[in-house]
Amino acid sequence: MNGEEQYNEQQKEYDQNIQQEQELRNQVENLEEQIDVLSEHQQNCMKQGKYIEAEMAQKKIKELKEKLEKKRKEELKQRHLNEKLGVEKAHLEEFNQFNEFWDKKMAEFNEEAKNIETELIQRQDDEYQRVSEELEKAVPFVPKDSSEVLNLMKMEEHLAKQNRYLEAHQIQQKRIQLQKEESNGWNQQRLAKIKNQLNQLRQRQNNELNALRQRIYSGQEEQRKNRSIELERLLQKYQNVKKELEDQQQKEFLAFQRSFTSKAPTSLTISRYQQGSRFNSTLKV
């Protein structure tokens, strides 16, 4: 049963108990009216010398008072139960509102954090692609000729001018082989240079992303901590209100018992539900 279903079920029970309390109150008022009527009748019979009728009225009054005491006690217990249910109902309502507020707040925070993280990742991917393309263009595919290659080129040219073609051919082959070797070595260096710079970029991006995720985690932990603190306050407030109501009801019940023990008149038939409402409203302060 979720919070809303629990609240609706409690509201239904609360309404039924309020109706029962009203029915008991009506019964008490009817008994009081009957006692008042019989008391007046008893006095009139006594004044008129109708002692038998006065005796009968007195016995009936005693019977009705015993019944009245029982109904008043039932009414008091029912009202106390309704006051407790009212406090629980108000607490459950506030508890549900509390959860709705924090669930929404934390969901909004997580959604915003997710969007920020997604935007950062996209921005980093775009940056990585752009830098990768720039490096491909900036780092030449063909290396500069080494001094050894340049020397071989001069020798080759000089031999050719002297018509020493076989020697020039040998130097030419040696130069071509050296250029091939240097080109292969350069390609490896070029790729390693580009990879190194891209790795440095990715490491910086990872550090930036991890820092963001740490801030998000810290924010989530702060929200969980604040929610826990606020929940403790809410539960403590409920316990305080509940204890205050129980103490008051205990005093009222003892006063009720003393009133009948001492045969003193009592005014407990007056509705006290408004007093119970004070405890319900306390929960919403």
pLDDT digits (tens, 9 = 90+) for 218-239: 999 999 999 999 999 999 999 9
Average pLDDT over residues 3-30: 76
Residue 2 has a pLDDT of: 61
Least confident of 34-43, 69-78, 174-183: 174-183
Q: Does position 131 have pLDDT exceeding 50, yes or no?
A: yes
- Confidence band (pLDDT; 50, 70, 90) for 260? low
SS3 for the chain, per residue?
CCHHHHHHHHHHHHHHHHHHHHHHHHHHHHHHHHHHHHHHHHHHHHHCCCHHHHHHHHHHHHHHHHHHHHHHHHHHHHHHHHHHHHHHHHHHHHHHHHHHHHHHHHHHHHHHHHHHHHHHHHHHHHHHHHHHHHHHHHCCCCCCCCHHHHHHHHHHHHHHHCCCHHHHHHHHHHHHHHHHHHHHHHHHHHHHHHHHHHHHHHHHHHHHHHHHHHHHHHHHHHHHHHHHHHHHHHHHHHHHHHHHHHHHHHHHHHHHHHHHHCCCCCCCCCCCHHHHHHHHHHCCC
- Model confidence at 268, pLDDT cuts 50, 70, 90, reads very low
60 has pLDDT over 80: yes
pLDDT (0 to 100) of residue 147:
78
Give the mean pLDDT of 169-196.
Answer: 79
Q: What is the pLDDT of residue 232?
A: 96
Per-domain residue ranges for the chain?
Answer: 3-282
Q: What is the pTM of this model?
A: 0.61
pLDDT over 70 percentage in the chain: 85
Inform me whether the pLDDT recorded for 84 exceeds 70: yes
Please give the mean pLDDT across all residues of the chain.
Answer: 83
